[in-house]
Amino acid sequence: MRALNKTDISVHAGQARPLTRQHFGAKNIHGESGLDGTDLLPKLRPEDKTSGKKGVLAMAEGILAQPKGETMLVATGSMTNVAILISLFPEIIDWLKGVVIMGGAVAVGNVTPVAEFNIWVSIPRIYIQLIKFQSDPEAAEVLFSTPVLAEKLIMVPLDLTHSALLTEAIEERILTSNPSKFRQMWVDLGRYFAERYANVFGFTLGPPIHDVCAVHIAGLVGRGVQSEKDGRWYGKKMICHVETGDGRTRGQTVCDLWNYIEGHGKITVASDIEVCPITPEMNVDYLVE
């Protein structure tokens, strides 16, 4: 928040571990700090700390304080906090306009052959043979298997995010259109991510900007831009399940493209997004000097 000059926004700590499993971080991708790759982040000050309020309770209070049907909820990590939220406060579902999650895959995973990291959560590749199935797909299945919530749920899978790459050409436009410390920090983080993604997954054109895609779609839906409208994004309704067993497919999002499965409400699986260029007039220069 200090880097964004938004210290008036409270930060609340979420759950420290999955619902039933032990947690492991993705240091092989994001580094020891989770934001490795830049020295431009402001130094933490004594007042830079979480609020002390449980994240789930803060979410409930914030959502219920808004008019019914106007709030977009975005989850860009594991689904643990959202699963607990709707379990404790099922009435919140009526308050939500939509829920967008960055996670899952229709085809190929990125932490196992079929599972995506945020659904599996969260074993570094080196540990896959050493630690059996420490994850939280159960939380994701809570979301997918709650019919009234599923109808408001949009999954932004790897199949989409791997089409939105932070290329060198985009980095150059970010830096040259209106140079600033904030833009340099953003590019530094992107370049570190690119190097890690290239080493682990073989992506050489640039890393996918996973979470940005989810936030962008949430913004579009929040403003009333539904799937296919104006060609901004596209998604298809389908029944999806999360594999929660202890086999090789644990964490897989099984998406029924052909409507074979009978079951709970259909979620929207996003499959395409309009990638917008960075322009000089975009106001993304917030970093405190």
Smallest CA-to-CA distance from 167 within 205, 196, 133, 194 is with: 205
Query: What is the per-residue burial (b if ≥16 Cβ within 10 Å, else e) of 106-125?
Result: beebbbbebbbbbbbbbbbe
Cα separation values, 57 from 17, 65, 72, 80, Å: 17, 12, 17, 13
d(CA 71, CA 222): 8
Instruction: State residue 129's pLDDT score.
Output: 40
d(CA 68, CA 163): 34
Could you say which architecture CATH assigns to the domain 27-273?
Alpha-Beta Complex (3.90)
Question: What's the pTM?
Answer: 0.85
- 210, 216, 241, 264: the active-site residue: 210
Percent of the chain at pLDDT > 70 equals: 83
Rounded average pLDDT over 235-249: 90
CB distance 193 to 187 below 8 Å: no
Lookup result for tokens 């539904």: 226
pLDDT at 18 over 80: no
* Residue 210 bears catalytic tag: yes
Task: List the chain domain ranges.
Answer: 27-273
Percent of the chain at pLDDT > 90 equals: 42
pLDDT in tens, 94-150: 999 999 999 999 999 988 899 998 888 644 333 334 333 345 789 999 999 999 999
End-to-end, the C-alpha distance of the chain in Å comes to: 13
| Mean pLDDT of the residues in the chain | 83
- 280/162: higher pLDDT: 162
d(CA 113, CA 206): 21
